[in-house]
Amino acid sequence: MVDFRPIRADSARMTRPTEVPIVSDPIGEALHLLRLNGCVYAQSVLSAPWGIDLPPFPGHMMFHIITAGSCWLESDGAEPVRLERGSLVLVPHGLGHQLVDARGRETVDFFDLPIERVTEIFERLEYGGGGDECRLICVVVRFDHAVAERLIDSLPAVLHLDAWDGGDDRWLSDTLRFISREAEALRPGGETVITRLADILAIQMIRHWLERGSEEQSGWLAALRDERLGRAIAAIHREPGTPWTLETLAGVASMSRSAFAARFAEVVGEPAMRYLTTWRLQVARRALRESDEPVGCVAERYGYLSEAAFCRAFKREFGVSPGKDRKVVAAAPVSA
């Protein structure tokens, strides 16, 4: 069954902004914060003719690894993508899409297929008309850190990478071959190997796009690439409970207060102090959902001088009080 509860994340607190070390790679540090929580891993053997309709999974990403044969990925408003043996494709926004053996093929809802549950999160599927086979591993995952929301918002609707031939990413193709062998044999513990390696491949896909495929001149990623803004954003991420001011953040960025404020708003699209507030509330919300720690303690750890001020800010941001938000999550089903 799928566990939708968030994973615990801890945040240290420091006392003086001047203690923040210089960050040489803010994007690398942001990626370091990413932790995948796999919800479902499905190993599929599909024989032509076949077509599968994957419904939307809000708040999750879908990831497909083609280990044999070929297929097409189709989705509304996007060009169809041909997937060959060795293809990796990431649908980062959880959008519904179709996997088919041939363009225009009729599809069946994924949840109506004869799925065999191997473990709590690992499934197997054999389906189709008995023709040419396509073998793939389909993964539904989510990240467990607030940085993921910013990162995922920056990604395109579909990320596609052909990794079998390797090139400079030889380790990637070797990993794919290893997953393929494990999927074929599924020896004892094989599903654990597949799930761990699939998580690594999903993050590698994002790294590949960041390094080679994105050249934004504005927005969150552009700010992380900016030598000065990146240092300030990394400091906020690392130490959200520090009593930051526009002046101290400008100091981390080695800029004047006015130049920093103008540059941050221009590139990121919102004022620096608004970004700080949003970030604090996101990580505080996660901390409340993951523990029974008193609201006042969480508020203090994330930079609020009083529980009342924190509760007001929280309700403005999320539309509910911290206590009610925590109760809703606690009452939600553990699995689906």
Q: What is the pLDDT of residue 78?
A: 79
- C-beta separation of 134 from 120 below 8 A: no
Give the torsion sign (CA, 146, 151, 157, 162): negative
The proportion of the chain whose per-residue pLDDT surpasses 70, expressed as a percent, equals 75
Fold of the domain built from segment(s) 36-212: Jelly Rolls (2.60.120)
What element of type H or E holds 235?
Answer: helix 227-238
Domain ranges, ordered by start, for the chain: 17-32+218-331, 36-212
Quote the tokens at residue 172: 């990637």
SS3 89: strand
- Of the candidates 98, 99, 203, the residue with the CA atom closest to the CA atom of residue 147: 203
pLDDT digits (tens, 9 = 90+) for 158-209: 888 876 555 555 666 677 777 666 666 666 666 677 667 777 777 777 777 7
Chain Cα centroid distance, residue 261: 29
pLDDT tops 90 at residue 130: yes
pLDDT digits (tens, 9 = 90+) for 14-43: 333 334 444 456 777 776 666 666 677 788
Comparing 17-32+218-331 with 36-212, is the CATH topology the same?
no
> Which CATH code is given to the segment(s) 17-32+218-331?
1.10.10.60
SS3 track for 239-299? CCCCCCCHHHHHHHCCCCHHHHHHHHHHHHCCCHHHHHHHHHHHHHHHHHHHCCCCHHHHH
SS3 326: helix
Asked whether the whole model's pTM tops 0.75, one would answer no
